[in-house]
Structure 1
Amino acid sequence: MRKSEHDHRQFKYTTLDNGLRVFLVQDTDCEKSAASITINSGHFNDDKNSPGLSHLLEHMLFLGDHNNPTANHVSSFLESIGGSINAQTGTEYTSYFLDFPDDYLAKCLKLFSTMLIKPIFDEQLLKNEIQVIDAEFQAKVRDDLRRLYQVHKETCNPNHPFSRFSVGNKEIFETFSSSELRTKLINLHRKNYQPQQACMCVISSEDLLVIEQQVTQSFATWQTNNTHNTLELPSLYQPDNLAIKVNIEPIIHTQRLIITFALPSQKQHFRSKPLTILSHLLGDEGEGSLLYFYKQQGWATNLNAGGGIEGSNFKDFNINIQLTSLGIEKTDTLIQVLFAFISLIKNNGIENWRIEEVATINQLMWDFSDATKSIDETLHLSQAMFEYPAEFLLAGEHILDQVNAELALGLLDYFVPTNMRIKAIWPKVKTNKIANWYNTPYAVEKLTNPILQAYLNQESREELNLTTLNLSKPNPFLPQKQIAKPINQEYDTPIQLINQAGLQIWYGQDNKFSQPKGDCFLSFDCPAVTQGIEVVAAKRLWIALLNEKLNQRYYQANLAGMYFHFYPHQGGFSLQTNGFSQNQLTFYTKLLTQIVEHEDFIHSFEQVKNRQLLALSNKLLNKPINSLFSRLAVLMQQNNYLPLDMVNTTQSVTPEIIYQTKKQLLNQFHLKGLMYGDWTSDEADQISSVIKSFRANYKVAGKTKRGVADIRQDNTYIHQVDSQHTDSAVVIYFQSPDASILNTALTIIAEQIVAGPFFHTLRTEQQLGYLVGSGYIPYNQHPGLAFYIQSPHASVEQLIQAIHQFMQNFSNNLLEYSSIWQSIKKGVIKQLSEKDTNLSMKAQRLWMAISNNDFDFSNSQKMFQTIEKLELSDLVSFFEKLITKQGFGEIILHCGPLSTQSQINNFAPILDPKIFKKTIGYL
């Protein structure tokens, strides 16, 4: 099996007697064991008269089996031990995946097998789950991705199963009786959920032999019918589906042009990756690129090349362009330029060094990839087992060992106007049809021969003056052979190199991952941000403008695995770099210098400003739950503002205001930084000296206060948020009495213990909606607990009452958890103490500790010790005080009308968020 030389895990690929293919991974560093099974059956296998049946089947497998008939038994058990389970239904595959502590390997695999193999399909639960599926469908009715996807389905070959609706809803499923639908599910399960049509991956720290024995014991009894379902798929597109323009009117304000070229499946070329090469050329963002030309003309702000749907017999290659208003007027010219650039590639050919450069980048990214969670990797690998030969299971996504420029050039024969589909997506586009299910306005126009020929017209190209178009030059940021530096153990925990007024710098050297990588952080706390919304709006626009410049300037650095992030926060702004350590410190100091240097933003100002305004305006169109949590953050954080107010303020910002605001921000600030990774102490000292010299040029300030609204009042605050969605939605947030380690620990463990029962009671049993859940949400380290529901049928009053009633009942019955109290605490500690899976995650954790003034990095250990000492009686007392509001704050946010508030004692309506923020006290 091909694997990276830096991958020291043990592997075994085997097939059980029943045909189940199994890939076993022993990873002694994994925090949790994980397993995933992918079935070669998805919505393409639905009956024509019951679209969404595979999705419903996926849901029903969670609702009881012959060994464990209780609904959500597996989910509840996994949550109780700190594990999780989920599933997803795709076009041709359905996957189920879970994780759990290592010592539960045997039990969890057995639960997993019976869940998949022996479902009971209870008719009453089936009726309930139809409501859940329908709520899921209703929650996405105004989701533009779903709406665009449906138009795509309706504009391809109607005989291809891709064209069918895949989610399902009440309207479809209730055309059948419960017994009829149950029979359909049983037949679909019996036919397709076969071991010879499944692939399984398990990752654990256990020995491979132990893993294999447990898998065999749990899954060898899965009986096979020795048949293989092979779908004979027609072409995805008929001639009438090509050389067309599809106009689509979105809900969220966007201006996108998607140009699609239809290709056959390219999976067999995984060792030469011709589409990756073409994506690399067409998606370049540097000087001379296609995007660079569009930006210079003022037509576009962003371009992505290479995405698109794919399946066993089709592959779309998309060029997705974010347009300006001027670009909308110039779409035909813009497409002409695209074909001119494609001709440029054909005429110049593709030199081998370009492919070798991509191969080098791929190899580096593979050799030094950030480890993923075991549950995510098992999911990926169980799906990849269908895509790659066993030898290339690990390598298939990364390997490029067959350089074949002619193959890539040959694919450009598909990149012609007659094989093209154009999607024009912007407001007020001309439409004459309404798509099924999601009510998306659209129109289809067949492109005439004169139009198709005009896209390739040589004379028109000459008039456009395309001499600036060029293919990219060799990447100067491509790192040489990477070897991690010797490790000095004393620096694994960061030490403080500089501690003076207005400047604190830490340095550490990783001793675990042995990767030639690192992360650098630098945070500016600027008192100017407390002066009001005008400074905050101008600051955000300045950062967006500078990012526009830097992204273009350092696009090749990004390609070569050296990244930067320049972003705003409540106290000011931050700069972060990460990736390969070679040359990163020099890159870091260059960026620091360019933050303070004068940049001319005149050329890009209107484009970037309009993009910023568009993003802010679109926040007003979020689905209800997102809108409520966004508003909660505004109400709870002192330096956070309403999107509409930010829109109004940003509209009046000029370049002069940008320069003035930048001067205000940099006039006085506090600087805090961390370098952590593959650097020696000498290198860290050198860069620290540079930062110290830089710091000396500006006035000193203390850390900016990040106030949190103090809602710990006798009143319950209530606030309505407008929404264009018809669903009702409620978020109830409880603010804990203080930010002590004890109350933080109690809030965390409260959320952990309540999450499963809350979901099961209000979603599965009471059928209140699809989006149901809870979360631990601290604001600036002050802990809090949130509960949320979005419902297509229940009123706001019903949702509030249901949450309050659940909390009361749960509190009354908490003593029932006494027998598993210790295992609950153990599970929470295990989750909180999960090992860092990669160097960046470790660096982020250390940086968060520094940001929270945990300079000796001991808070985590204190938290574990506090949780270990907790008694169940402490949690009972915590819930009793929360419900009676003894020291707790409560705020209810809702979308949809609240006709009466008589059920809520001592309520205080928030009619104007700005007045609330001016009058509330801050912690």
Structure 2
Amino acid sequence: MHSYLKPLIILPALFINACTSLPIMQKTEIIQSQNDHRLYQAFTLDNGLKALIISDPEAKKAAASLDVFVGSASDPEDRAGLAHFLEHMLFLGTKKYPDPDEYQTYIAQHGGSRNAYTAKEHTNYFFDIENASLEPALDRFSQFFTAPLFNIEFVEREKNAVNSEYLGKIKTDSRRSYAGLQQAFNPKSPYAKFSVGSLETLADRNNDLIRDDLLQFYKSHYSANLMALVVLANEPLPVLKKWVTEKFSAIPNHQAQKKVFTEPLLSKNEMAHQINIKSLQEKRELSLLFTLPETQSYYLAKPGIYFQSLLGHEGEGSILALLKEKGWADELSASTGFSNNAQESSLHLGINLTHAGLQHTDEIIDIVFQYIRLLQNNEVQEWLFQEQSQMSALQFRYQEQRSASSTVTGLARNLQYYPAQDVLRGPAVIEQFKPDLTRQLIALLTPERVLITLVTQNLDTNKTEKNYQVDYRITEIDPALIQSWSNSTINSALALPAQNPFIPDELKLKTADSDTVQHNLTRPELIQKDQSLDLWHQLDTSFKVPRSNLYIALQSPIANTSPRDSLLTALFAGIIKKQLNSYAYPARLAGLNYSIYATERGLTIALSGYDHKQAVLLERISAALKAPEITEKRFNILQARYQQKISNAQKQQPFHQVLADLKRSLIERRWTNEQKLAALSTLTIEDLQVFSENFLKQLHIT
């Protein structure tokens, strides 16, 4: 699977000149979507802080986010979690507002929420609030970066809060897997460090108090020239600019330098190795990781998107299609890896294995490298680049508005990477074709440069990671195997994809007729009803996008009468999805998504996205339902996946299990995991074949 990053190209924003009482800022035209009617203005304060203000007269809430270009990667070697600890301590009183609860109380009393996060190279603070209360909220917010107190009486409390976060996820397999994987990284890389923090790493030591280290970290890194602020509200731009200038200009500028990380994620010593990590839950996950040169400076070309999309493709000729045919895997994703900064980038391929696939990991890796060599042996296809560029442009042109909080948080980070004119489209714009650069990157995807990870329950290990107690083993890949992966014959089933038939070329917006306008329909209208069908329709033109949503509920009296029938309904949905996957994957790339899932009453089919070719996809879904291809291989894989899912649910954190039990107690015929496991073990392919026939005989469609 590969998901394109969103926004792209189009139209300059209008600007309102600053008030004469404020310093004149250089006007920057921000490229924005034609579907985006907000007003934007970017400027830099005298102290070096970058700011973006957004005026939206229709905003239901105001919001602000301040991003500091420093994170856990900058933790001192002996103070893991210091950046995260600072995030906790910052909100506990300032010189102007000394009450430690002042900020959060004000936000809560005025219909808002607030939060923060610490990443490897960013710490982001954000809130939303009712529009009328934004100015006082900004005043309180700005003081955290101007004159925070860091009162000593809260140090122990917040150390324990950080430690609770750490302990609360110590049995979470995603955290454990990453902690294990870090042991295979270059130990000098900042990405190899424990970053959450604990009572041990944040403890006071002889002549080394944690508060002193905190103050030094704040002074060294929390400098206005490393900060980016975004504010959104229903106020005019001049008003927002005045507030930002008044309240954030006092933040000190220490002329701090953004820390440059020169150590790569993987040095030559870590490449051509495999790490086996023992999981607590039942998992069968294989991944390949490659480090690559930086690509941020080529954001208008995004050369990595080309091969990410091909390696993660799920259509005919893809890696996943071949692995599914062999019964070795049922999911594959390709994405930017763990490091993506001004010094390097990376590529991560993740594969969910079947039981059979777990016995053929070397052959699976060989197939991956065969496809990579297929790319290396072919020219970079300009038509494919044009498809990617076209779809990104369409998504930006017809983007839908996100919440105020989500908008400011993402844009504050964007301001750290992109020039102001591209702050909206930067993460996704694809408009420069650079085949030579793409080929250079593909050439680096070789067996000699890979780090392989295998995560599953039953593995031989010889070491234990300290913080999450993860058992693991790192071994060098046999040179003979490297040689084999470099020279094996490319399987004839592997091929580049065909041109995408689902890319929409009819994007005309539908308009409401006079009757619809007259009746002002705000909810669906029943337009047909008979014994087997209820048909509802609503035309909503307010979003101004050529997209539609279609939901079809297939209700059957046999869908959920017992744990057995509940499982058979879910397996039937799974069979249809597997049958359609290769055909429908190009539709997903073209912005047309579908899902089929089991409910208490039957199956639901949901389609969403560009409506031009929805009918084509729906017709294929309908054909698959009428003639399901229930094979022994598909049945066995699905049965094993459900067994894994149900077994893992019994090992989830207690609060997840309590919520699941609560649902079961409130909803009629909601079966327990124990009931499902018992029924699942008895099911056969013949049971599913008979059930699918009977299911379709007694349908009511809504």
Per the TM superposition, whether the score is higher than 0.5 is yes
What secondary structure does 2:230 align onto? strand
1:546-583 per-position Cα deviation (integer Å, ceiling 9, x unaligned): 11112222111111011111111122221111100112
1:656-677 per-position Cα deviation (integer Å, ceiling 9, x unaligned): 21122223333324322xxxxx
Question: Paired residue for 2:121, among 66, 76, 92?
Answer: 92
1:90 Cα shift?
0.8
Give the aligned partner of residue 194 of structure 1. Answer: 223
In structure 2, C-alpha distance between the alignment counterparts of 1:627 and 1:116, rounded to whole Å: 40
In structure 1, C-alpha distance between the alignment counterparts of 2:117 and 2:560, rounded to whole Å: 45
Letter in 1 for 2:472: Y
Give the aligned partner of residue 801 of structure 1. Answer: none
Larger Rg: 1
For 1:173-322, what aligned pairs fall within 5 Å after superposition? 173-176=202-205, 180-310=209-339, 311-322=341-352
Question: Paired residue for 1:646, among 656, 659, 676?
Answer: 676
Give the aligned partner of residue 56 of structure 2. Answer: 27
Letter in 2 for 1:157: N
Give the aligned partner of residue 512 of structure 2. Answer: 487
Kept in 1: contact 2:575–2:629 (CA 8 A): no
In structure 1, C-alpha distance between the alignment counterparts of 2:492 and 2:478, rounded to whole Å: 29
In structure 1, C-alpha distance between the alignment counterparts of 2:296 and 2:677, rounded to whole Å: 45
1:43-62 per-position Cα deviation (integer Å, ceiling 9, x unaligned): 12212211101101101122
More off after superposition, 370-379 vs 50-59: 370-379
In structure 2, C-alpha distance between the alignment counterparts of 1:264 and 1:228, rounded to whole Å: 22
In structure 2, C-alpha distance between the alignment counterparts of 1:204 and 1:349, rounded to whole Å: 48
Kept in 1: contact 2:336–2:345 (CA 8 A): no
More off after superposition, 304-313 vs 512-521: 304-313
In structure 2, C-alpha distance between the alignment counterparts of 1:635 and 1:666, rounded to whole Å: 29
Please state if 1:399 is matched with 2:402: no
In structure 2, C-alpha distance between the alignment counterparts of 1:232 and 1:569, rounded to whole Å: 49
Kept in 2: contact 1:127–1:178 (CA 8 A): no
In structure 2, C-alpha distance between the alignment counterparts of 1:651 and 1:349, rounded to whole Å: 50
Give the aligned partner of residue 358 of structure 2. Answer: 328
When residues 232 and 308 of structure 1 are mapped into structure 2, their CA distance, relative to the original with a 3 A threshold, is: closer
Letter in 2 for 1:417: P
1:178 Cα shift?
11
1:530 Cα shift?
4.7
Give the aligned partner of residue 679 of structure 1. Answer: none
What secondary structure does 2:348 align onto? strand
Please state if 1:437 is matched with 2:463: no
Letter in 2 for 1:126: V
Question: Paired residue for 1:540, among 567, 570, 577?
Answer: 570
1:390-439 per-position Cα deviation (integer Å, ceiling 9, x unaligned): 22211212211111222212211210111110001112122111011001
Give the aligned partner of residue 498 of structure 2. Answer: 473
What secondary structure does 1:529 align onto? coil
More off after superposition, 101-110 vs 520-529: 520-529
For 1:346-745, what aligned pairs fall within 5 Å after superposition? 346-458=376-488, 461=489, 466-488=491-513, 489=517, 490=519, 491-672=521-702
Kept in 2: contact 1:85–1:99 (CA 8 A): yes
Please state if 1:14 is matched with 2:52: no
Letter in 1 for 2:243: Q
* Structure 1: runs of 5+ lacking an equivalent: 673-923
1:632-689 per-position Cα deviation (integer Å, ceiling 9, x unaligned): 21222222111232122112211221122223333324322xxxxxxxxxxxxxxxxx
What secondary structure does 1:537 align onto? helix
In structure 1, C-alpha distance between the alignment counterparts of 2:616 and 2:270, rounded to whole Å: 52
In structure 1, C-alpha distance between the alignment counterparts of 2:487 and 2:225, rounded to whole Å: 54
What secondary structure does 2:333 align onto? strand
What secondary structure does 1:301 align onto? strand
Letter in 1 for 2:255: N
Kept in 1: contact 2:221–2:256 (CA 8 A): no
TM-score, normalised to structure 1's length?
0.70
Kept in 1: contact 2:575–2:630 (CA 8 A): no
1:774-794 per-position Cα deviation (integer Å, ceiling 9, x unaligned): xxxxxxxxxxxxxxxxxxxxx
Kept in 2: contact 1:126–1:178 (CA 8 A): no
When residues 116 and 661 of structure 1 are mapped into structure 2, their CA distance, relative to the original with a 3 A threshold, is: farther
In structure 2, C-alpha distance between the alignment counterparts of 1:232 and 1:423, rounded to whole Å: 24
Please state if 1:48 is matched with 2:73: no
1:295 Cα shift?
0.9
Kept in 2: contact 1:339–1:456 (CA 8 A): yes
* Structure 2: runs of 5+ lacking an equivalent: 1-29
Kept in 1: contact 2:284–2:353 (CA 8 A): yes
In structure 2, C-alpha distance between the alignment counterparts of 1:11 and 1:411, rounded to whole Å: 36
Letter in 1 for 2:658: L
What secondary structure does 2:332 align onto? strand
Please state if 1:161 is matched with 2:190: yes
1:179 Cα shift?
8.7
Q: Which has the higher helix share?
A: 1
1:389 Cα shift?
1.8
In structure 1, C-alpha distance between the alignment counterparts of 2:587 and 2:260, rounded to whole Å: 44
In structure 2, C-alpha distance between the alignment counterparts of 1:168 and 1:536, rounded to whole Å: 44
Letter in 2 for 1:543: A
Q: Report percent identity of matched pairs.
A: 25
Please state if 1:118 is matched with 2:144: no
Letter in 2 for 1:619: A
In structure 2, C-alpha distance between the alignment counterparts of 1:407 and 1:258, rounded to whole Å: 25
What secondary structure does 1:496 align onto? strand
1:499 Cα shift?
2.9
1:229 Cα shift?
4.0
Letter in 1 for 2:403: K
Kept in 2: contact 1:275–1:306 (CA 8 A): no
What secondary structure does 2:686 align onto? helix
Give the aligned partner of residue 162 of structure 2. Answer: 133
Give the aligned partner of residue 5 of structure 2. Answer: none
In structure 1, C-alpha distance between the alignment counterparts of 2:68 and 2:560, rounded to whole Å: 55
In structure 2, C-alpha distance between the alignment counterparts of 1:522 and 1:508, rounded to whole Å: 14
In structure 2, C-alpha distance between the alignment counterparts of 1:435 and 1:265, rounded to whole Å: 30
1:23 Cα shift?
0.8
Kept in 2: contact 1:123–1:178 (CA 8 A): no
In structure 2, C-alpha distance between the alignment counterparts of 1:73 and 1:570, rounded to whole Å: 47
1:354 Cα shift?
0.7
When residues 297 and 179 of structure 1 are mapped into structure 2, their CA distance, relative to the original with a 3 A threshold, is: closer
Give the aligned partner of residue 750 of structure 1. Answer: none
Give the aligned partner of residue 81 of structure 1. Answer: 110
1:9 Cα shift?
2.0
TM-score, normalised to structure 2's length?
0.92
Structure with higher RCO (Cα < 8 A, 6+ apart): 2
1:157 Cα shift?
2.2
Kept in 2: contact 1:355–1:405 (CA 8 A): no
What secondary structure does 1:117 align onto? coil
1:300-320 per-position Cα deviation (integer Å, ceiling 9, x unaligned): 111111231123323220111
Question: Paired residue for 1:146, among 163, 172, 175?
Answer: 175
Kept in 2: contact 1:247–1:429 (CA 8 A): yes
In structure 2, C-alpha distance between the alignment counterparts of 1:436 and 1:178, rounded to whole Å: 26
